[in-house]
Amino acid sequence: MGAACAFHASAKDRPAPPVATAASACIAKGQIVVRHAWVRLPPMQMPMMAGFGRIENRCAAPVVIVAAKSAAFADVSLHETRIIDGVSKMRALPELRIAPDGAAVLKPGGMHLMLMQPHAPLKQGSRVAIEFELKGGGSLLGEFEVRKAAP
């Protein structure tokens, strides 16, 4: 796998909360899933791309994503684009918290995955695996389709 990017630098230094065990059990039951996931294919080869989709938590416990990694990219991080004083600004997010029976939507102009330095050129229709690390342990795997435009 490629390099992991910690959304929250001190996450590994904290004791694992009981939520992690619940989240891992929910993933095993298929209650935490990545849906409608895609990576935007730029018109020309570029050192960065963006990933979008929906992460659903149908579990009774919250889920906190603290890092992501992919064998297809040197670095993966979570960002959010916001309009502040009429100017579009992007900032890295330390973590992504998904409430019980909630979802996080990654979309153009909002939260998204920043995918840096692809290891090989990607093609329309190919698939990329991205692994999300959960606070306290465990991980969630998502499969992202490479597309020129939103589905």
Segments making up each domain of the chain, as ranges: 5-147
143, 131 Cβ separation under 8 angstroms = no
pLDDT at 7 over 70: no
Provide φ and ψ at 19, rounded to 5°: -55, -35
Average pLDDT over residues 58-64: 92
CATH homologous superfamily, domain 5-147: PCu(A)C copper chaperone (2.60.40.1890)
Residue 30's Cβ-side half-sphere holds a number of Cα atoms within 13 Å equal to: 0
Output the six-digit token pair for 114: 């920043």
Question: Which of the pair, 95 or 3, is modelled with greater confidence?
Answer: 95
Q: Residues in the chain, how many?
A: 151
Output the six-digit token pair for 46: 């570029």
* CA distance to 2, 32, 80, 113, 134, per residue, from 35 (Å): 22, 10, 19, 14, 17
Element spanning 135, H or E: none
Environment class of 149 (CB within 10 Å of its CB; exposed 0-12, middle 13-18, buried 19+): exposed
110, 150 Cβ separation under 8 angstroms = no
Average pLDDT over residues 52-75: 96
pLDDT at 28 over 90: no
pTM of the model: 0.82
